Amino acid sequence: MKVGLQWALSDAHLPTNQPSAQRQLSVSVSASGKGVQAPLNLCFVLDRSGSMMGTPLQTVKQAAHRIIDRLTARDRISIIAFDHKAKVLVPNQFATDVTSIKQKIDSLTAGGGTSIDDGLKAGIEQLAIGKEDRVSQLLLLTDGENEHGDNGRALKLSGVASGYNLTVNTLGFGDHWNQDVLEQIADEGGGSLSYIEHAEEAIAIFGRLFTRMQSVNLTNAFLNVELLEGTRLADLKPVAQVAPETVELTALQEGSEAMIRLGDLMTDQARVVLLNLYIPQLAAGMTSIARIQVTYDDPALGLSGQTTETLSVEILAQDAYVANSDPAVQQHILALAKYRQTQIAEDKLKAGDRKGAVTMLQSAANTAIQMGDKNAATVLQKNATQLQSGQDLSERDRKRTRIVSKTQLQ
């Protein structure tokens, strides 16, 4: 299994008569080629608090059953149940005794409060047991606020998991979970945020997430960027992932070099990172402004610290400048703008600035239209109209807004 590494600039040309210019560098990274499929190391961390009683918990049990049926004897599974405290329902083990595992899932009953960080801690501990030469994925599902826990602790735990090459995915069930907390946990853990709006959607959403996990073949990937010829990263929010979902990323910089954590690499969908660069005045001709390389692990072969070839990022400086924009990069720029405009709208609404929130939601809707994201445009414009008419947004409206801001729904 190899790494597919490609780059493109928002505009591949540069005028020679400007003291500096801004360009966005898009870097696409994926697992490519044929290779041995790495086995999974999967952990369910399931909320069984009182609010999950009845249909919600029953549906989650059915969804978990479907995933268990798709595991092979090479895969490992562990299950944590939590209310105001966590319990190890299924210790980390090979997924061979499927009947016994399902029986333990079926034994779950609802009751008590919610302590997300206790469940997360127990899940990380179990996942760590089976991480060697496997793709390790944790699914945290909750339908409520972390009333008996500590959100700061949950975020730290997710960051710790990521550092140990364990991926944390979050699923919000219903309308009363905290989208800020679950998004941050997923972002810190290198995973995805999903919204189960209606109970009957749980099986399909679990299935999509599991398919995504199965497509992971390389892990612990880092993008390494060496900036040349006086090129530098922007000072404010210089790096973001824009696919498969939008996430603000951190670049660890030392001099002219920057390192950006990517995490898992999938075969069916690339991770696309957008870097905001400032390029100094250049003489006419082709100039290399950066070099990029990816380091990664191949769990199927038990290999760590693998490296790709180094690619040179080049730009053509012209005395008679003619723009050469890349349509795909422009789409990535719009995706990031949609996310950031929506975030600003949410911040303004929290601060009581309803008019400002309406303006930013309308801007985000227009951006979604530009990029052909009709679903997002519909949700965002509906919310803007609702606020403008004096109505408040429901919890469901807010959650839909967060999801469409991060992804392009099909």
Domain boundaries, the chain: 1-232+249-324, 328-406
Alpha helices in 259-393 (DSSP H): 327-350, 354-370, 374-388
In this predicted model, what pLDDT tens digit does every residue of 31-54 receive, in sequence order?
A: 998 878 899 999 999 999 999 999
Instruction: Using a cut of 0.85, tell me whether the model's pTM lies above it.
Output: yes
Is 1-232+249-324 assigned to CATH 3.40.50.410? yes
Select from 224, 236, 238, 222 the least CA-distant residue to 24. 238
Q: Which residues 6+ apart lie within 8 Å of 368 measured at CB?
A: 338, 374, 376, 377, 380, 404
C-alpha 227 chain-centroid distance: 26
Segment 70-105, tens digit of pLDDT: 999 999 999 999 999 999 999 999 999 999 999 999
- Find the helix or strand (DSSP H, E) in which 63 lies: helix 55-70
Task: Report the share of the chain in percent with pLDDT over 90.
Answer: 98
Two tokens, residue 22 = 């801004």
**Strand pairing class (285-298; 303-307):** antiparallel
What are the backbone dihedrals phi and psi of residue 285, each rounded to the nearest 5 degrees, phi first? Answer: 120, 180
Condensed to tens digits (0 to 9), the pLDDT of residues 240-297 reads: 999 999 999 999 999 999 999 999 999 989 999 999 999 999 999 999 999 999 999 9
pLDDT at 409: 59
Closest CA to 38 of 182, 186, 125, 137: 137
Of 357, 368, 349, 370, the residue nearest 407 (C-alpha): 368
What is the rounded CA–CA span in Å between residue 71 and residue 95?
7
Measured between its terminal Cα atoms, the distance across the chain in Å is 28
Instruction: Render the burial of 281-294: b for 16+ CB within 10 Å, e for the rest.
Output: ebeeeebebbebbb
pLDDT in tens, 311-345: 999 999 999 999 999 999 999 999 999 999 999 99
Bridge partners of 252, per DSSP, are 259
Q: What percent of the chain has pLDDT over 70?
A: 100
